[in-house]
Structure 1
Amino acid sequence: MKRFLSILALMGIGITLSSQPAFATPVNEISKQQQQQMINVAHRGASGHAPENTMAAFQKGVDMKADYIEIDVQMTKDGELVLIHDTTVDRTTDGIGYVGDLTFEAIRQLDAGSWFHEEYAGEKVPTFDEVLDSFRGKTGILIELKAPELYPGIEEKVAVALIERNMHKPNNNKIIIQSFNHESMKKSKELLPEVPHGVLAGPSWANVTDEQLAEFASYADYFNPNMNIVTPELVDRVHEVGMMIFPYTSRSQEQANHLFDLNVDGIVSDFPEHVYYHPVHNQ
């Protein structure tokens, strides 16, 4: 299986970002090799700095030069692909109800920013099309199909949107599709054979077998687990079957540092600055 091609440019090492969106000087010099090898994925956009799965968070991720923005795709009652993490709108908007029970017009009227900070009042739930059109060519897009079993036909709709934009033959793996629903990934891979796919794995996959990893590798390029189950042995076994590993979700510098030490290929983080400016330690 083809290994993932690096897309990182060299980063400057004289400045860093703190946990707030302000610059500071790192205590230690950063390894160029680490910068080149580590893929930086802005989880739901730079969701530590702006409300998750909004255009503001995605733009923040781009501004912070993340290699990918990660997005969660679901489908409204009338078949529109929208970006939201939970299967209900309750937590991240001022509305209530299941995404699949609401029309696009109803969801579009919701405020998806005020819960995070009043500065983001009026942020809307974006559509899949909007994000593709706004960020294609500016950053990689890691597309998670969220609970696809609730939305028959979502794999086809995603495929059509990518094909219409000639994004189904991505250069440098700029598009990746992943899901916790592994059967959905098999279906998506058949529709989009040239797009890299990934399987997400929660804590229950802590004892994944070599046979299971080999099965995943037959249709996926990534095994992306909860960071709490990642061990050096797991990283080695994932690499042995030709897949890469992007654990989720780092929310502190300490967690990012730990993942660096485990020799993973990428880090999914709410704070992209933690991934770029890992202090060299244990040397």
Structure 2
Amino acid sequence: MRRISLILFLLLSACFVFSQEKAPLPETKYKLAVIAHRGNHVKVPENTLESVKAAIKSGADYVEIDLRTTKDGYLVIHHDGTVNRMTNGTGNIKDLTLAELQQLKVADKNNPTKKTYRIPTFSAVLKAAKGKINIYLDFKDAGVTETYRQIQEAGMEKQVVVYVNKIPQYREWRKTAPGMPLITSVLEEVKNKEQLTFFLEQGTIEVVDNIYDKEMVATANDNGVAVWLDVQSDHEGADDWNQALQRGIQGIQTDHPEALIAYLNKSGLRNGLGKDLAKEDPYTKYKKKTYRELKNIKYGQAPGDENRFDAYFPKDMQPNARVIVYIHGGGWTGGDKEEFPKQLIEELVGKRGYLVVSMNYRLVKDGQDRFPAQIEDVQKALEFIAKNAAKYKYNGNEYALMGGSAGAHLAMLYAYGYDNAKQVKTVIDLWGPTDFTDKSVRPDGSNADKTVINFLGEKDENAQVAKDASPAYRLTKETGTPTILFHGGEDPLVNVSQAQNLYQKLQALGIPAQLEIYPGEKHGVGPASAVDVFTKTFLWLEKYYPAK
């Protein structure tokens, strides 16, 4: 299998991830899954119907196959994007019809055979596997809707797990078939269990395949995620298998399923040495939750869910608990309150005792609800929170505002320009724009420029509305509030100078400020930097907005 890491959406960025409960993996006789890589192709060519049948005969729990689409829209099984390596033909799968492909003879040119093998259709493989072996589907190049339709038609919904290679694939599978278990690879930059926990929280994944540290395997398992390692090679053997097993994994992908199973049986290791996740109590995480949720609370009259927020309360909330309000990103045209990271909820609410609100607001659509609609919604939300403070016994007179991208802009703008009662005690800025009058960072025709013009409804950077909507212009000695700013050094959408210039003004005005720049990071940050963002956010809050 080609190792293409899936960069799951980072929830602190301006993106939104579909989240859901974990899907159950297909049932297996043993708790250690043996996966026949591209079928059992020791004696027959890979990804053929015969290799699938050989995998069944070997006793493997899964057969790993690669899915592609023909020129005329049929789903077929083939690893490479071309037929050059494994057939007597040439050309791209996507440029050949099913009829043309089925005329080709499949055979490894390094291991010729007299018997004729063909490229199989996905439907033929599903039929051969049903009730006999589970499918590990490497989703190379296909449509989710048609793939899932064929899986359903074959009655194989509970016998398939899908490896996703790209972000759009993840999103589409979660939208189309939320009950389908998914596999992916962890980013190379994820080096420790804290970073791994962050990565795994960015979406819903059932299996990862490239964790080799025993402690990180345990961390994945603690998050309900299985680890299936790839050991496949022409020369794999007992040393490779035993080394993988000692890490406490739940599955092994192999080019020699018969030999591996024989080794496992002889060694008494057919169930492996890892945690049996199938026996885990599915309600464990709910029992461990240290906070309560109130979803979709309506604070205004905008249609749909644009004037709604989610609130997270400590289970044992103390009287006069302090409130943190999070405002999502999305270029003022997208995003959702669900983007607030679950790790932060657990830490801020469950462990530290804050009440956290994550809010939606009106989005710019078809030229409607441009600025200042969004800042008006922030004001409405805070008024609503204050109005209900006595009822729920939290502090409705003080707030910390935190936002990502466009949400960070709104947090800073409200604090510096609209907080007449001086209720905002601190702002946490996650790569937000600060000055719309700075044309140098949004040249004509750039994505940054188009986004700002759509938000303001004004092209002229010197227009009054550009100044009115800029936190840097609204910031004065009187309106300033302690602010911590986080930014990627190579942010292509919001230039890092936006944070640097605001930080310099905060310092010049004598307002407490801290600037954290992450070289190499773009708009949003990866897992390693995110852990640092979290840590410094907690330290900042302890100093300028302590929970107690």
TM score, norm. by length of structure 1: 0.77
Using the TM superposition, give the Cα deviation of residue 274 of structure 1 relative to its aligned residue in structure 2, in angstroms: 3.9
Using the TM superposition, give the Cα deviation of residue 133 of structure 1 relative to its aligned residue in structure 2, in angstroms: 1.1
- The verdict on how the C-alpha distance between 1:145 and 1:3 changes in structure 2, with shifts beyond 3 A counting, is closer
Which protein, 1 or 2, shows the higher relative CO under an 8 Å CA cutoff with sep ≥ 6?
A: 1
Structure 1 unmatched runs, 5+: 9-35
1:259 aligned partner: 244
Q: Is the 8 A contact 2:38 2:64 kept in 1?
A: yes
Q: How do residues 10-159 of structure 1 correspond to structure 2 at under 5 angstroms? A: 36-113=30-107, 115=109, 117-119=111-113, 121-146=115-140, 148=141, 151=142, 154-159=143-148
1:62 is paired with a residue whose SS is helix
Cα distance in 1, alignment partners of residues 267 and 155 from structure 2: 40
Cα distance in 2, alignment partners of residues 125 and 86 from structure 1: 12
Using the TM superposition, give the Cα deviation of residue 201 of structure 1 relative to its aligned residue in structure 2, in angstroms: 4.6
Q: Is the 8 A contact 1:42 1:272 kept in 2?
A: yes
- Listed one character per residue, the Cα deviations across residues 114-133 of structure 1 (whole Å, up to 9, x for unaligned) are 53644463200001000011
Q: How do residues 188-267 of structure 1 correspond to structure 2 at under 5 angstroms? A: 188-201=173-186, 204=188, 207=191, 209-215=196-202, 218-225=203-210, 230-251=212-233, 252-253=236-237, 254-267=239-252
- The verdict on how the C-alpha distance between 1:235 and 1:134 changes in structure 2, with shifts beyond 3 A counting, is same
- Listed one character per residue, the Cα deviations across residues 69-106 of structure 1 (whole Å, up to 9, x for unaligned) are 11100001110101001111111111111111111111
- Which AA in structure 2 matches 1:236? A
- Which AA in structure 2 matches 1:175? V
Q: Is the 8 A contact 1:246 1:264 kept in 2?
A: yes
- The verdict on how the C-alpha distance between 1:145 and 1:240 changes in structure 2, with shifts beyond 3 A counting, is same
Cα distance in 2, alignment partners of residues 42 and 64 from structure 1: 9
Q: How do residues 165-184 of structure 1 correspond to structure 2 at under 5 angstroms? A: 165-168=154-157, 170=158, 174-184=159-169
Q: Is the 8 A contact 1:114 1:122 kept in 2?
A: no
Rg bigger for which structure? 2
Q: Is the 8 A contact 2:231 2:241 kept in 1?
A: no
2:28 aligned partner: 7
- Listed one character per residue, the Cα deviations across residues 139-170 of structure 1 (whole Å, up to 9, x for unaligned) are 11111101x3xx5xx111101101222323x1
- Which AA in structure 2 matches 1:165? A
Using the TM superposition, give the Cα deviation of residue 37 of structure 1 relative to its aligned residue in structure 2, in angstroms: 2.8
Using the TM superposition, give the Cα deviation of residue 57 of structure 1 relative to its aligned residue in structure 2, in angstroms: 1.0
Q: Is the 8 A contact 2:196 2:216 kept in 1?
A: no
Partner residue of 1:161 out of 140, 150, 153:
150
Q: Is the 8 A contact 2:59 2:258 kept in 1?
A: no
- Listed one character per residue, the Cα deviations across residues 196-238 of structure 1 (whole Å, up to 9, x for unaligned) are 1111357x355363211222xx32211122xxx5121221121
1:21 aligned partner: none
Q: Is the 8 A contact 2:228 2:253 kept in 1?
A: yes
Cα distance in 1, alignment partners of residues 251 and 25 from structure 2: 11
Q: Does 1:270 align with 2:264?
A: no
- The verdict on how the C-alpha distance between 1:260 and 1:115 changes in structure 2, with shifts beyond 3 A counting, is same
1:49 is paired with a residue whose SS is coil
How many pairs are equivalent?
Answer: 239
Q: Which moved more, 1:58-67 or 1:181-190?
A: 181-190
Cα distance in 2, alignment partners of residues 132 and 269 from structure 1: 21
Percent identity over the alignment is: 24
1:11 aligned partner: none
1:193 is paired with a residue whose SS is coil
Cα distance in 2, alignment partners of residues 265 and 41 from structure 1: 11
Structure 2 unmatched runs, 5+: 1-21, 269-548
- Which AA in structure 2 matches 1:53? N
Q: Is the 8 A contact 1:185 1:198 kept in 2?
A: no
Cα distance in 2, alignment partners of residues 182 and 234 from structure 1: 23
2:365 aligned partner: none
Q: Is the 8 A contact 1:186 1:219 kept in 2?
A: no
1:234 is paired with a residue whose SS is helix
Cα distance in 2, alignment partners of residues 3 and 95 from structure 1: 40
- The verdict on how the C-alpha distance between 1:103 and 1:2 changes in structure 2, with shifts beyond 3 A counting, is closer
Q: Is the 8 A contact 2:105 2:116 kept in 1?
A: yes
TM score, norm. by length of structure 2: 0.41
- The verdict on how the C-alpha distance between 1:219 and 1:94 changes in structure 2, with shifts beyond 3 A counting, is same
Q: Which moved more, 1:97-106 or 1:250-259?
A: 250-259
Q: Is the 8 A contact 1:182 1:199 kept in 2?
A: no
